Amino acid sequence: MYLLNRQQRHVVNYSWMLFSLLIIAFLPFMLFGGLYFKSFLLLKTHTLKDLIFLHSWHPSRGEFGFYPFIVGSIWVTLLAILISTPICLLTAINVTQYAKKRFLRIMHPVIDILAGIPSVVYGVWGILVIVPFISRYLGPWFGVQSMGYSILAGAFVLSVMIIPFILNIMIEIFRTIPTELKEATLSLGATKWQMVKHVLLRKALPGIIASVGFGLARAFGETMAVLMVVGNVIKVPHSVFDPGYTLPALIANNYGEVLSIPQYDSALMFAALLLLAVSLFFNLLMHFFIARYNKY
């Protein structure tokens, strides 16, 4: 026995589904709207251009130049991607095309464990291993004085953190390439390496770009681990051995203790808005590339 007949139940179920869908669809807009509303106090007195391109950050004097944070964030993120992408790509190719199947079965739990480690732990590891490594060995080797807390340290830690995410997607992509395509390529007389280079990589390209985009988005928003090793000095970094400051770290370090300074609260909201905007930009860029290379 039902309270409603089939038709009515259909309507009720359908409206619930539609409601959930709408909530998800509007969530980003609500976030954007909320952050924009909250940062309005800052935007009233400063132009967008000044906020993004000015170097000076003195909240007590009312100077809010986000440039050092933006540059710091972008450097750390891009470097991390630059380090982790080739490693992931080579690993994924090896595991799916060359290594024994047993190896993949071992790799999967390892990757999952790496993905599950809390970012604070990565941060601690960065402080204990990466920071001294840079100040004692890598810096002097390049003839640079560095205290170790630097853009490079942030990038190293970050690259290790995003490897499991990128790698998982890449392995999946290479696994889903049909065996018949490989057979077709090999039957033309291609060697295994030629097959990988000319056919598999091209076939996988949209997926590879998507996985890098996913890593990029994660890296850009990562807060804790980077904050612990990047140095947190508000200055535009001139080399990777310089300390820097990232947008997420700015928010995490200062939110909650700044209510005495007018506009500071609003400035942090603006930082969040910037984060969201840049993530969105990366996202769109990836979609563009995927669409461009997906034609094969």
Partner 1 sequence: METAIRIKDLNVFAGKTQILHDINVEIPKNKITVILGPSGCGKTTLLKCMNRLTDLYPELKVSGEILINDKNIFDPGADISKLRQSMGLLSQRPYPLPMTIYNNIAYALKLRGVRGRRKQSILVMDYLKQANLYEEVRKRLREPASRLSIGQQQRLCLARGLAVNPDIILADEPTSALDPISSRFIDEKFQEIKPHFTIVVVTHVLRQARRIADNVIFMYMGEVVEQGSASEFFENPKEEKTKSYLEGMFN
Q: What does each C-alpha distance from 246 to 68, 73, 178, 216 come to in angstroms?
A: 8, 5, 42, 14
Closest separation in Å from C-beta 207 to partner 1 = 12
Closest separation in Å from C-beta 178 to partner 1 = 7
Q: Are 249 and 238 in contact (CB under 8 A)?
A: no
> Looking at 109, 141, 180, 256, which residue binds partner 1 (CB under 8 A)?
180
Q: Which amino acid is at 167?
A: L
> Looking at 4, 30, 120, 184, which residue binds partner 1 (CB under 8 A)?
184
Our finding on whether 191 is near partner 1 (CB under 8 A) is yes
Region binding partner 1 by CB under 8 A among candidate stretches 71-79, 195-203, 263-271, 277-285:
195-203
Residues in contact with 154: Cβ distance below 8 Å, sequence separation at least 6, in sequence order: 76, 80, 126, 225, 226, 229, 230, 244, 246
Our finding on whether 181 is near partner 1 (CB under 8 A) is yes
- Give start and end residues of each alpha helix (H) in the chain: 6-38, 40-45, 48-53, 67-93, 101-116, 119-125, 131-133, 139-141, 151-175, 179-187, 192-194, 201-221, 224-229, 247-254, 264-293
Closest separation in Å from C-beta 169 to partner 1 = 19
Torsion region of 62: left, alpha or beta (phi above 0 gives left; psi -120 to 50 gives alpha): left
Closest separation in Å from C-beta 194 to partner 1 = 7
> Looking at 60, 145, 179, 260, which residue binds partner 1 (CB under 8 A)?
179
For residues 145 and 187, which CB has a smaller minimum distance to partner 1 in the complex? 187
Provide the angle, in degrees to the nearest 10, between the axes of the packed helices 264-293 and 6-38: 120
Closest separation in Å from C-beta 287 to partner 1 = 19
For residues 8 and 194, which CB has a smaller minimum distance to partner 1 in the complex? 194
Our finding on whether 49 is near partner 1 (CB under 8 A) is no
> Looking at 115, 117, 186, 290, which residue binds partner 1 (CB under 8 A)?
186
Our finding on whether 198 is near partner 1 (CB under 8 A) is yes
Query: Which residues contact partner 1 (rule: CB under 8 A)?
Result: 100-101, 178-191, 194, 198-199, 202-203, 295-296
